[in-house]
Structure 1
Amino acid sequence: MLITVGVLASFAVAPGQSAASVRVVVGVASVSTQYAGADFIGEAQQIRAVGAKAIRIPAKWNLIQPSTSGNFSWARLDSAVNAARSSGLSILMNLEGPAPVWAQKPGANPFANGNAPADPAAFGRFAHQVALRYASRVAAWEIWNEPNLSHYLIPPTAGEYVPLLRSAFNGIRTAGGNQPIVTGGLSSLRTETRDTTFIADLYSLGAKDYFDGIGVHPYTLPYPITADPRGGDGGGAAVLPTGRATMVTNGDAAKSMWITEFGQPTGNTPASTSEIAQSRIIIDAVNRANGLAWIAAIFIFTSRDLSTNPADDNSNFGLYRFDGSPKPVADALRGQLS
């Protein structure tokens, strides 16, 4: 089922933004719902301040439905959604794991972040409840996160993922959620299931009826998105032309690819760059995504650094520093998007 109400129409153009010059939806991928005490209003305002018009909000299953009692812990997600909407941001809601302990497979390590449910239908019921609560305030849905890595899905295969996708798709649709549904953004790491292979496997397993777009995370650290020298085939961004070709071959030319994460950490590691280089890399990626009509959106990871440690890549992807001050990329985005 292909949703034809325009993917872009689901995201209102932000005040002061020129839709003629910036076709692609530019958003920021948040991680704040994973942390107690997060400043959702402050984050939403920072995201709007750079000219972005959308936010990717994680709805983590294990945090929202920790028991089978029928009680859901909505407070944190409610706060994030309310802050986003009150700040004028459209929402890509990412339904992701791990499965809560009660839903895990027998013998699973209860602390593993990649735990899948024993019964995919349980995830579908969760998706149904999320859609009942938030469908009127969500512009699009993303199902799971980086399912081609065991850190997020065990095992990291399309065979494990497709039943989750199908169940979530049906759960959202039966709850009245008619917005676009996007597959979980695929990691560009080549340590496990390759992103391009995963996309081909989605089609071979008959998944095309259960998504309206394909999510990708074409990280090219520490290089620009079209200048990754590794791999001989475009590096981390190879999934864009190769994945697109697979979509077209399988009759899905009318569907879009969604870059649900792209970013560049600052710091002093081999994968990081200076703040000025970060700015150039991100602005270049936005411009190149904007030039490809089959890319619907690009979400920059993430809003704010998680620490002041320059040796920790994962903590330094922010558009803003840990103290809330803007990096050069924040001003550069503002100039590009407003």
Structure 2
Amino acid sequence: MQPATSSAAIRLPVGVATVSTMYSGTDYTADSQGIAYAGAQAIRIPAKWNLIQPGAKQSYTWSELDDAVTAARAAGLSILMNLEGPAPVWAQKPGANPFANGNAPDDPADFQDFAAAVAKRYSSRVTAWEIWNEPNLSRYLIPPTAAEYVPLLKAAYTGIRSAGSGQPVITGGTSSSRENTRDTTFISDMYALGASSYFNGIGVHPYTFPYGIAQDPRYGDGGGAAVIYGARSLMVANGDSAKSIWITEFGFPTGSTTNSVSEANQSKLILDAINRANSLSWIAVFFIFNSQDLTSNKSIEDGNFGLYRYNDSAKPIVAGLRSLLE
């Protein structure tokens, strides 16, 4: 990425991703207020299909998402709503493991109907829509290919527009992991399958932990951050230069694993990444993952990305963001 520039003028909207709606009993007000206190302007909220429509096609459970949206707007936050899987059991493919988190629907039309229902209910309070989460990983989409994803993207886009929502539709943020389909390959394949007419921006998750966004030595091509320039090149080559890249997740764990960093370095590395992204006019937004640690166990890597610790106390990144953004 570009060298870090002065933090005097951050034109880039900065948000925080939350996983609050995945955990019943979450204090949505505290979650949103904590994000706003850190100086962030936006929140990424997951609308989990299997949790909202668990029992039958015409039955919806809105209470958790209602509370999350109400709290976010009360805190003055713009909302990026992430419509993500897995498909509920009734919509899954025959023979699918009902417990797999990556289950896609047997019929994308069911996802279209879900997207339309969500858009009809929330479009007046949502700024943008993101379709699925890390679809290039099998833990989120089975199989993790553009051929499986693009019909879901088209279905969701069609459903959202049919509900009267004109807000931007963003592709599901791709993982920078090389575990399954590489992010740049996935995006290239999306274009080859004619996806361009069904999105207004491309979502990426350019994780580089434990290294800084410009210092990752892995893979020989810039590590996780390589997707930022790789995706941009693909957009330009396919006539989409007017569209933007949306960083919908980026962060560092502060636990005790080999990929963890100290709390002080978490702050330093995130602020550096925001400054670098701020210098690229075709990056539309930067979302930090995650609002709060999910556990007090420091050996669980995915549970320690928070701006706030499990006991609600602030890590240094909160003061750092306030200084940078306010």
Q: Do they fold alike, i.e. is TM over 0.5?
A: yes
- Deviation above 4 Å: which 4+ runs of structure 1? none
Separation in 2, partners of 1:118, 1:45: 39
Please say if 1:256 is aligned against 2:267.
no
Deviations 1:91-110 (A, max 9, x none): 00000000000000000000
Please say if 1:333 is aligned against 2:321.
yes
Residue 255 of structure 2 aligns to which amino acid in structure 1?
A: G
CA deviation after TM superposition for structure 1 residue 282, in Å = 0.5
Please say if 1:99 is aligned against 2:87.
yes
CA deviation after TM superposition for structure 1 residue 20, in Å = 8.4
> Which position in structure 2 is the counterpart of 1:134?
122
Among residues 35, 47, 52, which one is paired with 1:59 in the alignment? Answer: 47
CA deviation after TM superposition for structure 1 residue 67, in Å = 2.0
Separation in 1, partners of 2:302, 2:281: 30
Separation in 1, partners of 2:244, 2:308: 29
Among residues 268, 287, 292, which one is paired with 1:280 in the alignment? Answer: 268
Among residues 219, 229, 250, which one is paired with 1:241 in the alignment? Answer: 229
Query: Any stretches of 5+ residues in structure 2 without a counterpart?
Result: 1-6
Deviations 1:252-285 (A, max 9, x none): 0000000000000002211101001101110011
> Which position in structure 1 is the counterpart of 2:14?
26
CA deviation after TM superposition for structure 1 residue 24, in Å = 1.0
Identity of matched residues, %: 65
Please say if 1:174 is aligned against 2:162.
yes
CA deviation after TM superposition for structure 1 residue 71, in Å = 1.9
Residue 244 of structure 2 aligns to which amino acid in structure 1?
A: S
Separation in 2, partners of 1:189, 1:276: 25
Residue 205 of structure 1 aligns to which amino acid in structure 2?
A: L
Separation in 1, partners of 2:19, 2:255: 20
Show the 5 A alignment for 1:209-248.
209-248=197-236
Deviations 1:265-316 (A, max 9, x none): 0022111010011011100111111111000011000011111111111110
Residue 297 of structure 1 aligns to which amino acid in structure 2?
A: V
| CA RMSD in angstroms, aligned pairs only | 1.0
Residue 126 of structure 1 aligns to which amino acid in structure 2?
A: F
Deviations 1:53-84 (A, max 9, x none): 00000000000001225221000000000000
> Which position in structure 2 is the counterpart of 1:317?
305
Residue 116 of structure 2 aligns to which amino acid in structure 1?
A: H
Among residues 148, 155, 161, which one is paired with 2:149 in the alignment? Answer: 161
> Which position in structure 2 is the counterpart of 1:118?
106
Among residues 181, 186, 206, which one is paired with 1:198 in the alignment? Answer: 186
Residue 227 of structure 2 aligns to which amino acid in structure 1?
A: V
CA deviation after TM superposition for structure 1 residue 23, in Å = 1.2
Residue 264 of structure 1 aligns to which amino acid in structure 2?
A: F
Separation in 2, partners of 1:242, 1:35: 35
Deviations 1:113-133 (A, max 9, x none): 000000001000000000000
Separation in 1, partners of 2:29, 2:160: 27
Among residues 289, 303, 321, which one is paired with 2:277 in the alignment? Answer: 289
Separation in 2, partners of 1:69, 1:61: 11
Deviations 1:137-189 (A, max 9, x none): 00000000000000000000000000000000000001011000000000000
> Which position in structure 2 is the counterpart of 1:80?
68
Query: Any stretches of 5+ residues in structure 1 without a counterpart?
Result: 1-18
Separation in 1, partners of 2:140, 2:59: 25
Residue 215 of structure 1 aligns to which amino acid in structure 2?
A: G
Residue 146 of structure 1 aligns to which amino acid in structure 2?
A: E
Give the TM-score taking structure 1 as reference length: 0.94
> Which position in structure 1 is the counterpart of 2:4?
none
